[in-house]
């Protein structure tokens, strides 16, 4: 699971919401290159997760038909499991953050 999180995190760390960079938030006035939006990054991560799951399903079907080795099937299924665990952890964090924001007084 750690390797799956690590592969997704560099993209998320590089994000700047609404084109704001840390430099412009501190008042330095320097504008950095606008980063990818949070929604676009989440869309890309979800797309990659779906592709991983479809690939594991395809490999499993090939294994049942005798066209893929047991090792390939196990690797694909374990990759899909890591992807699913990462997606669930990410979803839990997003829901938790939303609930915390909804409890804040404005």
Confidence of residue 7 (pLDDT cuts 50, 70, 90): low
Tell me the helices (H) and strands (E) count for the chain, helix number first.
4, 0
pLDDT surpasses 50 at 83: yes
- Per-residue pLDDT reduced to its tens digit, 23-54: 444 444 443 445 688 889 889 999 999 999 99
Within-domain flag for 87: yes
Q: What is the CB-side half-sphere exposure of residue 95 using CA atoms within 13 A? A: 6
Assess if residue 77 is contained within a domain.
yes
Contacts of 45 (CB under 8 A, 6+ apart): 8, 11, 12, 90
Q: Angle, to 10 degrees, between the axis of helix 70-103 and the axis of helix 2-13? A: 50
Does 86 score more than 50 pLDDT?
yes
- Domain extent, residue 81, equals 38-104
Asked if residue 28 is part of any domain, the answer here is no
d(CA 60, CA 28): 54
pTM score: 0.61
């Amino acid at each position: 699971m750690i390797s799956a999180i690590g592969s997704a995190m560099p993209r998320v760390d590089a994000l700047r919401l609404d084109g704001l960079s840390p430099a412009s938030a501190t008042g330095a006035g320097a504008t950095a290159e606008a980063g990818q939006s949070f929604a676009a990054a989440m869309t890309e991560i979800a797309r990659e997760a779906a592709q991983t799951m479809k690939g594991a399903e395809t490999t499993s079907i090939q294994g049942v038909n005798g066209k893929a080795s047991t090792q390939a099937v196990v690797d694909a299924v374990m990759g899909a499991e890591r992807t699913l665990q990462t997606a669930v952890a990410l979803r839990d964090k997003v829901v938790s953050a939303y609930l915390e924001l909804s409890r804040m007084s404005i």
